[in-house]
Chains A and B, each alone.
Chain A
Amino acid sequence: MSPLLEVRDLRVTFPDRATGGVHPVDGVSFELARGETLALVGESGCGKSLSALALLRLVPPPGRIASGSAVVLDGTDVLALDDKSLRKVRGRRIAMIFQDPMTSLNPVFTVGDQITEVVHAHFKVPKQEARDRALKLLNEVGIPDAASRLDAYPHQLSGGMRQRVMIAIALAGEPELLIADEPTTALDVTVQAQILELLDQLRATHGMSMLLITHDLGIVAGRADRVAVMYAGQIVEQASTAALFAKPSHPYTQGLFASVPRLTGPVGHLMPIPGTVPPPSAWPSGCRFRTRCPIVHARSAEMPPMLQVGPEHSMRCWLAEDQQ
């Protein structure tokens, strides 16, 4: 079966006076099957959120998607659509949940208004029907006393409730793909698990695919089917969640794992990766991780391609060749 979403060589360009143009997203390719959850993992600044925005052609200007990129949703190239057809993809086929539910909701409209607005944008239904749907959605995302919350304003809700509203809005278009961009980062730890649980359950009941964007490997296990690790605008390792957790192979991925505290196993020191992700204008030639890599392969001055490490497990590192 063909994948629901196929992203090929996605490249986002921003003008830059010194270099003539930088690519914060630089040749990202992945596939997403129906019903599948793919986690896109990386530090802030690695290009994961921008990649997600690019899927909906929401790259903030002056940035733009470079030619040669392809985002194919169920056979249609999203990048080639005219504005009207694009609007039928946004929210209707691909919906997105943002990191901060406070600023992503318009403070001056009620929760009900903001849900029914999306219903009306995508379905020809009478007012009452839209309101009924909104109520049903609020119930579905677990908002207590949903009927009275319809007329509440965002500031009258807690952070967790606001994110539930965001999810309800996303579901209003009955999308096939849900992009969740750091959906729990702005929330209290106790609420995080509830929201992730809810997302997982909704994905299953609605038969949606999910692209889960996070910097937190800890929330990936048990939720995502596959994981793509991003570094400096590129995917550096891609594998099934089980394979990645069993055998993280790219030195960067290994570094991410070493910097996550564990509750089981021997007590050891956390090993942070030295330095930070350099800005796109300062990426080294060849392997982009070589400035922070503890190993530094002999060929690291050349850009490594994605190389196989195992069945459905590949990474962008020359070490893969040595292992074969």
Chain B
Amino acid sequence: MARWLARRLLLAALTVAIAITLAFFLMRLAPGDPLSRLGDERPMPAAELAGLRARYGLDQPLLSQYATFVVAATGGDFGRSIHYGRPVREIILDRLPASVLLGGGALLLTMLGGALLGAMQALRRDSPLDRTAGVVSLAAYATPSFWLGLVLAWLVGIEWRLLPVGGFRDPLLAPDAPWMTQVVDLLRHLALPLLTLTVVSIGAVMRYQRTAMLEALAQPFVAAARARGLSERRIRWRHALRTSLFPIVTLLGLWLPVLAAGSVFVESVFAWPGLGSLAAEAVGTRDYPLLMGVTLLVAVLVVLGGLLADLAYAALDPRVRPA
């Protein structure tokens, strides 16, 4: 077990290193750099621009920039954002809670809801409920998140005036308002982005879970359990469900990065102050240090997702437990 974990962690570190290296060079291959838009608003003397380039190290050869970044990053220093002028770490930590709240909530709702609905579909196979859910889940799966986000924002937020259409908290809310009021305000802001993100991802989970559950229900051990006089509830929710959760675990591992990146689209549509909208801005402004910071975080979450999925497999199925 310890050896297996050590090997996996080494592999994970390697993956992260490769990912950020790729990101580093790809970003600089893209046209423009953090300062190229500076001259847009007012003409800037070339000497001044060159001075700024030198200040941010952008005049150095690419490999030496890379070396500087790696050395600093290993020490936990990701530099300062060129756009915000603040340390990248600080900005990311500022934005992280909103992303974790939205991404985590969506992940939880998607996985639990999708697993439950998919399993129920399988148990009522070919019933009107199953068919309806099948059509709805496919439609939800095919809906682009930014479109659904805009429609919900317009309908619920603007037409019906039920919920706020953007942001994280009501700007008019007093900072010393009672905590209940603050929580309700937060939930009202969270509702639409969370709904959007959940709706567009739950379809896939439902479809995977339905198939897996049907497969599990057809296993001989299910018939054997019936022959032993076990209750139908126990057979379904203990024997069949437990063995049907593997595809969900795979998806959970793959989707862990949404915790951080949330959804770039959904966060942008709802002006949710998470890392997704931050990354989108950083791309626009070619804010290299900030982009590298976000990329690194996402890369770490990707490998962590894989690792967690493997651990979850082992917890679910004794046959894949490392000796």
| Interface residues, chain A, with chain B CB atoms under 8 Å away | 53, 56, 58, 60, 83, 87-92, 95-96, 98, 100, 103-110, 117-118, 121-122, 153, 155-156, 169-170, 172-173
B226 and A58 within 8 A (CB) = yes
Q: Given A92-B229, A103-B219, decide whether A98 and B224 contact each other with a Cβ distance below 8 A.
A: yes
Q: Given A100-B220, A103-B219, A155-B318, decide whether A108 and B243 contact each other with a Cβ distance below 8 A.
A: yes
Residues of B within 8 A of A58 (CB): 223, 226-227
A56 to B225, CA, bound (A): 12
Interface 1/0 per residue, B220-250 and A, CB below 8 Å? 1101111111111010000100110000000
Interface pairs (8), CB distance under 8 Å:
A90-B227, A95-B227, A100-B220, A103-B221, A107-B243, A109-B239, A153-B318, A173-B229
Asked if B319 lies at the interface with its beta carbon under 8 angstroms from chain A, I say yes
Which residue of chain A has the shortest Cβ distance to B223 in the bound complex?
Answer: A58
- Contact for A121 among B219, B224, B230, B242, CB less than 8 A: B230
A105 to B225, CA, bound (A): 8
Q: Given A58-B223, A106-B239, decide whether A88 and B229 contact each other with a Cβ distance below 8 A.
A: yes
Which residue of chain A has the shortest Cβ distance to B230 in the bound complex?
Answer: A121
Residues of B within 8 A of A169 (CB): 228
Residues of A within 8 A of B318 (CB): 107-108, 110, 153, 155-156
A88 to B229, CA, bound (A): 6
Residues of A within 8 A of B138 (CB): none
Residues of A within 8 A of B223 (CB): 53, 58, 60, 98, 104
A83 to B219, CA, bound (A): 21
Asked if B90 lies at the interface with its beta carbon under 8 angstroms from chain A, I say no
Residue of A60, A87, A89, A173 with most partner-chain B CB within 10 A:
A87
B243 and A173 within 8 A (CB) = no
Given contacts A121-B231, A153-B318, 17 further A-B contacts (CB under 8 A): A53-B223, A56-B226, A58-B223, A58-B227, A60-B223, A87-B229, A87-B231, A88-B229, A89-B229, A91-B227, A95-B227, A105-B221, A105-B224, A106-B221, A107-B317, A117-B228, A121-B234
Q: How many residues of B contact A (CB 8 A)?
A: 21
Nearest-Cβ distance from residue A263 to partner chain B, whole angstroms: 35
Asked if B17 lies at the interface with its beta carbon under 8 angstroms from chain A, I say no
Asked if B152 lies at the interface with its beta carbon under 8 angstroms from chain A, I say no
Asked if B70 lies at the interface with its beta carbon under 8 angstroms from chain A, I say no
A118 and B224 within 8 A (CB) = no
A91 and B316 within 8 A (CB) = no
Which residue of chain A has the shortest Cβ distance to B318 in the bound complex?
Answer: A153
A153 to B242, CA, bound (A): 15
Which residue of chain A has the shortest Cβ distance to B242 in the bound complex?
Answer: A108
A155 and B229 within 8 A (CB) = no
Residues of A within 8 A of B234 (CB): 117, 121
A121 and B243 within 8 A (CB) = no
- Contact for B221 among A60, A104, A156, CB less than 8 A: A104
Residues of B within 8 A of A121 (CB): 228-231, 234
Nearest-Cβ distance from residue B231 to partner chain A, whole angstroms: 7
A105 to B319, CA, bound (A): 13
B229 and A122 within 8 A (CB) = yes
Interface 1/0 per residue, B284-323 and A, CB below 8 Å? 0000000000000000000000000000000011110000
Residues of A within 8 A of B219 (CB): 103
Residues of B within 8 A of A83 (CB): 232
Residues of A within 8 A of B242 (CB): 108
Nearest-Cβ distance from residue A132 to partner chain B, whole angstroms: 19
Residue of B225, B232, B239 with most partner-chain A CB within 10 A:
B225
A104 to B234, CA, bound (A): 16
A121 to B227, CA, bound (A): 12
B243 and A106 within 8 A (CB) = yes
A246 to B190, CA, bound (A): 83
B316 and A173 within 8 A (CB) = no
Residues of B within 8 A of A110 (CB): 318
- Contact for A117 among B220, B230, B243, B317, CB less than 8 A: B230
A92 to B230, CA, bound (A): 10
Which residue of chain B has the shortest Cβ distance to A106 in the bound complex?
Answer: B221
Residue of A100, A108, A109 with most partner-chain B CB within 10 A:
A108
Residues of B within 8 A of A156 (CB): 318
Which residue of chain B has the shortest Cβ distance to A83 in the bound complex?
Answer: B232
B319 and A90 within 8 A (CB) = no
- Contact for A153 among B227, B230, B319, CB less than 8 A: B319
Which residue of chain B has the shortest Cβ distance to A100 in the bound complex?
Answer: B220
Residues of A within 8 A of B239 (CB): 106, 109
Nearest-Cβ distance from residue A164 to partner chain B, whole angstroms: 15
Which residue of chain B has the shortest Cβ distance to A172 in the bound complex?
Answer: B228
Residues of A within 8 A of B220 (CB): 98, 100, 103-104
Residues of A within 8 A of B221 (CB): 103-107
A121 to B231, CA, bound (A): 8
Nearest-Cβ distance from residue B25 to partner chain A, whole angstroms: 45
Residues of A within 8 A of B317 (CB): 107-108
B229 and A90 within 8 A (CB) = yes
B243 and A118 within 8 A (CB) = no
Q: Given A90-B229, A91-B230, A108-B243, decide whether A155 and B224 contact each other with a Cβ distance below 8 A.
A: no
A75 to B219, CA, bound (A): 33
Residues of B within 8 A of A95 (CB): 227-228
B226 and A118 within 8 A (CB) = no
A131 to B315, CA, bound (A): 23
